[in-house]
Chains A and B, each alone.
Chain A
Amino acid sequence: MSLDPITLSVIQAGLQQVCDEMDLSFSRAAFSPVIAEANDRSDGIYSADDGSLIAQGAGGLPVFVGTMQYSTRTLIEMIADGNAAAPQPDDIYIVNDPYLGGTHLMDVRFAKPYYRNGEIYCWLSNTGHWPDTGGSVPGGFSASATAVEQEGLRLPPVRLFKQGVLDEEIFAIISSNIRVADQRIGDVKAQAAALLVGERRLNALLDRYGDDTVTEAIAELRRRAAVQMRAFIADIAEGTYSSVAWIDSDGVVNEPLAIRLAITRKGDDLTFDFTGTSPPCMGPMNSVLATTLSSVYLAMRHIFPEVPMSAGAFEPLKVVGVKDTFLDAHYPRPVSGCAAEVSQRIAEAVFAALVVPLPDRVTAAPAGTSGNFALGGHDPSRGRDFVMYQISGGGYGGNLDHDGLSNGCSTIGISKAPPVEIMEQAFPVLYHHYQLHEGSGGAGTHRGGFGLDYEVELRCGDARASFVMDHGRFGPQGALGGADGSCNQVTVNRSGERYTPEHLSKEQDISMQPGDRVQVRTPGGGGYGDPFLRAPELVCEDVILERYTSQQARDLFGVVLSEDPIAVDAANTKTLRKTMQQQ
C-alpha cells in the first residue's frame, strides 16, 4: 500500500502534536523553575530499532534536538547486550550518564518503551534539567572539576518506575545524593506524567490511522526530511568554509581551547570536519559526542528552521574529525560545561563558517554563553538552605536585515530569565543594578545587540558562589567586516576588595559573606558588515540613547558628533571615515 501525501501530512502533524502535548504537560506540572519557567526540557518519539528521532516537541530546548536519539539508542543497545534490565510494559528508565548519549549530569532523561500488541513500537523519552544532582557545587556547574564524580550523581539506565510503580529504593538513593531533594518528587512525577500523556495520544493516533500506515508514514517522513534538508543545502555554493571559535579555558588549565571547523559542501551533503580542534581538557569544558552532534544540528536548525526535526533532517550532515578532541570526551572527563557553553561555541563556529555562503540567513555570532551563576548556602532570614541560579542573556549578532537583539537567550536555550523581584523573594540577595551592558554591541553596518550588566549582593547568612560562563577572553565574532562584541566581564567584590577571576569567566567555591557582591557584564553580539557603512544617524541615535559614548561612535564607527544637541557632524564624519579606512 502506498501513502497519499495528505495522510502523510496529517500523520506528521499528529506525531508533532503528541510531542507538543508532552512538552506542555511536563512544563506545566514541573517543579524546577529551570523546567517550568525556562523550558529546559524536551520530549520526543524515538524508533524502536535504533532510537532515531521520529518527532520532537517544537518547544523543546534546542540543545536536546539531537541528544535524545543517542541516549535512546544507547539504552536499546545496552538492553540488547544485557547491560541494562530488560523492559516491561509501563517501565520508565532514568539515566543521566553523559557518556551514554547525554549532556551534563543535570539533564535527567526518562525513557519509556511504548508497547503495541505486546511489542515495543517505539520509545517515548524526555529530558529535564534538574536544579541539582549532587556533586561539589550546588547546581552542578563546577568550574574546576577534573572528573565526573565531582560533578554529581551519575545514573546508568535503571528502571525508576517498574510496571508503573515508582521504585522507592532507587528514588531514596537519588534523594540522598542531591540538594533540595524534597521538591524533586514533583519533577519526577511531572516527567513521568508527560510520557503517559504521550502514550495516550499515540494510542489515539495509531488507532485512528492503523499501525501499518503510521509505520509507513514515519519511514516516508524521514526520507522526505532528508530531501528537504538537501534542498536547502543546495543553496550553499560548493566549497569549503572554515572557522575557528575559542573557549576561554577549561576552568583548570588557563589556556584557550580551539574549535577548528571546516565545512565542505559537496553534492547535497555537508561535512563538518573538526580536525585540529584541541584535545580533551582537564576541566569541565569537555563535550560528549551526543552533545557535539546535537550542537551542529541545532546550529543548522537556526539557519534552516523550516526543516522539521527528524532523524532524516540530520542524514545529510556528516560530522568527522572529533576523535581525540575535547568534543568527544570519555569517562571520566568532567563535562558540566558541555551543554551550556561548548555547544554554543560549536554553533558559533558553524555560524562563522556559513555566514559567508549564506549571508542572508546567518547572523554574526550571538553572545553564546548561558551565564550560569550559582549561589548556594544557608539563608537565616528564611531558615533554610538554598541554591540560586542566575542565567543571563547577551547580545545577538547583527545580520543582513537588522541590528542584533539585546539580551537574547542563549543559542541553545529558549528560556526566560527570572525577574529580579522573584529572585529577591526567594533568595537572600539584593541586586544593585540590572541594566544594559553599554557599549557592548560589536560595531558593524548592523551592530550587535547589547549584553546585560548586573550586580548582586549577598544580604545575610553565608554562601558559596560559582560560575561557568565563557567569552571572557574572546568576544562573539563579528561577520563580513563587523567587529567582535564585547567580552563577558565578571568582577567579584569580597570585603570591599574587587578582583577579576583568574579564568575570567569561570570560578568556583567563592566564599561569600553578607555585603559581598558579584558583578557580571555579559557579551554583546558580533557586528555584521563594515561599521563605516553604518548610517551616521543610527550611530547618533545610539549615543543619544547612551548605548555608546561619543568617543565610541568615533573610534568604532568613524562618526563625529556635535554636542548639545547631539547631532551628526557630516563633514567631519566623512573625513574621519576616509582617514580611518586608509589606516
Chain B
Amino acid sequence: MANSPSGAVVGVDVGGTFTDLVELDQSTGQVRLAKVPSTLDNQAFGVLNALNAAECDLAALDLIVHGTTTTTNAVLERKLAKTGLITTQGFRDVLELGRRTRPQPYGMKGKFKPLIPRNLRIQVPERLEYTGAVVTDLDEAAVLSAGQALLDQGCETVVIHFLHAYANPDHELRAADILRQIWPNDHITMGHDLLSESREFERGVTAAVNASVQPLLERYLQRLIKELETGGYTGDVLVMNGNGGMVSAARVSIEAAKTVMSGPASGVIAAAYTGRRAGFGNLITYDMGGTSTDVALIRDSEPSVSNEIELEYAMPIHVPMVDVRTVGAGGGSIARVNPAGLLEVGPESAGADPGPICYGQGGNTPTISDANLILGRLDPAGLNSIKGGVSLDDVKSIFARELGDPLGLDAVQAAAAVIKIANTKMAGAIRMVSISLGIDPRDFALFAFGGAGPLHASELARELDVPRLIVPSRPGITNAIGCVVADLRHDFTNTLNAPLDSLDETRLRDVFAAQTADGERQIAQENIDIHAVRHLYSVDMQFIGQTHLLRVPLDRPDVDLKTLRALFEEAYFRRFRVELAYIRANVVNANTSVIGTRAELDLSSLIDPQGRKSTLDEAQTGMRAVFFEDSWQDTPIYWRDHLPGDFNLTGPAIVQQMDTTLLLEPGDRASGDSDGNILVNIGGAK
C-alpha cells in the first residue's frame, strides 16, 4: 500500500478527433501535455504520436492509463468480429426483434441491423423457468454441434445466451464447458456473466457486444503494448471502463463491453475528482464539443451510474456505466429559419467537414460557432490562421442572408438569436436529464469543459438558475485527466426479485458479501498501488406492480428490512413527491461497487505556476468588443496560463487558453483556486 504515487503517470484518451495526453510526475511536479490528431484505423499510432509530442520518456514512466474508443466505434460502425450465438430453442430472434420500438415517435421509417446475423444464431433445446428451475434439460449434443457449425462458418467468438440464466447459470456454464472442448480461443461470452439481470434482449445485446468486440480490443492492446515496449516502457497499461474505473490491459478484454463509452466517462471522473478537491460535491457536467454535448450528474462526488445505457437505437448495453446523456447541440449545429418563420438550431450539424463557415472548408450554413465569432465571443483574429480565406464579413453576410432577412434582423442580432435559442434548448435538455435523475439543477454547480463548454456555460447557468460554475484548468483535455485520476472499480448486480416483506435478510447479506469478495479479489489481482478500498452498496427497488426501478443507496450491507423500507420510501418521495405507504415494495437487484482508490494527485501544476503573472493587468492580452444581450461591450481578454494564482475578476471578460475560451457575462464574479480552477459566481443568479 503506497500513499503517494511513486512517479510519472500518463493518461491518454483517444477521442473522435484528437488524442489527448497528460503526464503528471508527482515526484518532480512536472506536467507534460499533448493534443494530436487521432488515428482511428489504428489508435496506437495516435497514442505514440502523443507520447512523442509531449516528449515523454517511456522508460521513466510508471503507469499509462488509456481511454480508447476502439470498442465504441466498432459497434457503431458494425466493424465487428464474426460472432455466433447459441440460444434457447424458440428464442433465436431476440436480438433482432428487440423491444418492438421505432427510432423516433413520428415517421414510420427506420432501420436496424442486429449484431449477429440470423444464420449465425443457433437454437438448442433447453429451458428454465423464472425461478431457475429446469423445464427442459440442456441438450449437450446440440450445443456441441451448434458450436461446430459456428466454427465451420468462420466465427471467431461465441455468445451463449439462455432464457432466465440470471436465475440459474448452470446451463450456460455447462454449455461453455462443452464449447471449450472445441473452441480455439477464450472468446466465449455467457449472457449471465456480465450482468446477472433479467430482460433477455438487453442482456443478450450486452453479451453480443462483448463477444463481438473482444478480439478487436485484445488485438489492439497487444499491438499498443508491443509498440510501447519497443519504446522502452516496462510499466503496466490500464484501460478505462465506461463505469469510470480502470482495469489492466491484460484482463480488460474479458469484459470488453465495459470499455464502451469510456471516453465520456473519464471526463466525468475528472470532473468529480476536480470538483471534490474544490469543495463541490454536486455537479452537472457540461461537455460541449463540435457536434454534440454530453451531460452527466455527480452527487456527493459520485458520478451517477446506470445499467441501462443505450448506445444508439435498440443497442442497450446493460453494464454499469457513468450515466452520460448526449443532448442538444454542438458548435457545428446548424441554424435555419423554418417554414413557419421561426429560428431553429440543430439537430443537424455541419460536423467536422465542411464544418462551420468559419472553418473555411466550404461550409456555408450558419452554425453556433459562427454566431460566437460574429458576437466577438470567439477571437476573429483566429480566422487568419484558418485556410480557405473566409473573412468575418463573409460569415456576417451569410447570417444576414440566411437568417437576418427572413427574421427582420441584422447579422449581429441574428447571431445573438442563434446563441439564445441554442442555450434555451440546451438548458431544457439539461433540465430533462436532471429531472429524470430526480434532482433540481439549482442545487448543483455547473462543471464546464470540452472545446465549447466554457463559452456557453455562464449563460446556460443563468438559464438553469444554477448559481455556480467551475471551469477546470485544462477543459480541453479533461478526459485524459480522468484517466490519470481514475480508480480501480468493479461493479456487480444480482437479481433478487423478492417482495420486501418476504426477503431473506441473510440472502441479501450473502449476495453483498459475495459481490464484495469478488471485487476485492479482482482488485488484488491488479499490480497497482491502492490507497484504500471502498464499497458502494445499493439495492434497486420498486413498488409491486411497477416496472421502473429506483436505486436506493445503502450505508452498509447488513441492512434490516425495516430500514430498507424506510430508505426506499424516503428515496421514492424525494424523487416523485408521492407517498405510497400502503403498497408493498419489491427488491429487484442488489448492487455492489468495489473501488480501489489511488493516492491523491496534485493537480495544481496543470497550469505551470512559473508562467503565472502577479497581476491581472499583466495577464490581459487586450480588449475586444463582445456582444451581450443587446449591446456591444468593451471586454478585457485574459490569457488563462498567465492569470495570477489568486485572482478575482468581474465580467464581462474573456479568458482564452490553448483549447478553449471562457466567456464571463457582465456581473459574473470569477476567482482562481489552488488547483488552477476558475470558480464563477453567476451574476444575478437567484
Contacts and interface: CB of A to CB of B under 8 A. Distances in A.
Contacts of B417: 5-6, 9
Contact of A416 (B96, B100, B428, B435): B100
Interface of B: 89-94, 96-102, 104-112, 117-119, 127, 129-130, 135, 163-164, 166, 198-202, 338-344, 407-409, 417, 420-421, 424-425, 428, 431-432, 435-436, 497, 543-548, 575-578, 580, 583
A408 B546 contact: no
A29 B545 CA distance: 12
A420 B130 CA distance: 10
Most-contacted residue by chain A among B117, B339, B407 (CB, 10 A)? B339
Interface string A18-52: 00110011011111110011000000000000000
A574 interface: no
Contacts of B118: 436, 545-547
A220 to B, nearest CB: 10
A405 B545 CA distance: 31
A419 B201 contact: yes
12 contacts: A6-B421, A27-B548, A37-B548, A193-B576, A225-B340, A231-B340, A305-B107, A408-B110, A416-B101, A417-B100, A419-B199, A546-B118
A546 B108 contact: no
Contacts of A8: 342
B2 to A, nearest CB: 45
Interface stretch (A98-106, A150-158, A183-191): A183-191
Given A183-B545, A407-B97, A5 B341 contact: yes
Nearest to B339: A231
Contacts of A14: 424, 428
Given A29-B578, A414-B101, 17 more contacts: A12-B342, A20-B432, A25-B576, A29-B576, A183-B543, A186-B583, A228-B339, A302-B108, A308-B340, A363-B109, A366-B108, A396-B110, A399-B109, A416-B99, A422-B198, A430-B129, A436-B97
Contacts of B130: 421, 424-425
Contacts of B424: 9-10, 13-14
B547 A37 contact: yes
A59 B342 CA distance: 22
Nearest to A419: B199
A182 B98 CA distance: 32
A67 interface: no
Contacts of B108: 302, 351, 363, 366, 396-397, 399, 408, 411
A554 interface: no
Contacts of B497: 425
Given A10-B424, A416-B100, A421 B200 contact: yes
A228 B340 contact: yes
Contact of B100 (A9, A29, A422, A452): A452
A112 to B, nearest CB: 16
Given A305-B107, A420-B163, A25 B435 contact: yes
Contacts of A37: 547-548
Contact of B90 (A391, A408, A411, A434): A434
Most-contacted residue by chain A among B102, B106, B198, B420 (CB, 10 A)? B106
A51 to B, nearest CB: 23
Contacts of B548: 27-28, 30, 36-37
Interface in A507-524: none
A224 B198 contact: no
A31 B543 contact: yes
B101 A227 contact: no
Contact of A10 (B99, B344, B420): B420
A409 interface: yes
B576 A227 contact: no
Interface in A369-406: 391-393, 396-397, 399, 401-403, 405-406
A472 interface: no
A308 B105 CA distance: 13
Contacts of B409: 5
A186 B341 contact: no
A252 interface: no
Interface in A55-70: 58-59, 62
A116 interface: no
B467 to A, nearest CB: 17
Contacts of B93: 434-436
A291 interface: no
Most-contacted residue by chain A among B112, B198, B340, B424 (CB, 10 A)? B340
B408 A436 contact: no
B634 to A, nearest CB: 25
A420 B343 contact: no
A403 B113 CA distance: 12
B418 to A, nearest CB: 9
Contacts of B408: 5
Contacts of B436: 24, 28
A436 B94 CA distance: 9
A419 B543 contact: no
Contact of B340 (A6, A59, A227, A433): A227
A433 B90 contact: yes
A232 interface: yes
Given A407-B98, A433-B90, A422 B545 contact: no
A25 B434 CA distance: 12
A393 B97 CA distance: 9
Nearest to B572: A29
Nearest to A366: B108
Contacts of A422: 198-199, 547
A406 B576 contact: no
A524 to B, nearest CB: 13
A93 B371 CA distance: 47
Contacts of A323: none
Contacts of B119: 544-546
A336 interface: no
A9 B339 contact: no
B101 A409 contact: yes
A15 to B, nearest CB: 11
Given A185-B583, A227-B341, A402-B109, A31 B117 contact: no
Contact of B198 (A16, A29, A308, A425): A425
A431 interface: yes
B547 A414 contact: no
A232 B339 CA distance: 9
B387 to A, nearest CB: 33
A14 B420 CA distance: 13
Most-contacted residue by chain A among B89, B163, B164, B344 (CB, 10 A)? B163
Contacts of A433: 89-91
A81 interface: no
A41 to B, nearest CB: 13
A9 to B, nearest CB: 5
Nearest to B423: A10
Interface in A447-490: 452, 455
A421 B163 contact: yes
Given A13-B428, A37-B547, A425-B198, A21 B94 contact: no
Contacts of A183: 543-545, 583
B200 to A, nearest CB: 5
A208 to B, nearest CB: 10
Contacts of B101: 393, 408-409, 414-416
Contact of B102 (A29, A408, A419): A408
Most-contacted residue by chain A among B94, B129, B580 (CB, 10 A)? B580
B23 to A, nearest CB: 43
B338 A228 contact: yes
A564 interface: no
Contacts of B202: 419
A393 B583 contact: no
Interface in A91-115: none
Most-contacted residue by chain A among B93, B107, B135, B580 (CB, 10 A)? B93
Contacts of A13: 421, 424-425, 428
B105 A59 contact: yes
A306 interface: yes
Contacts of A294: none
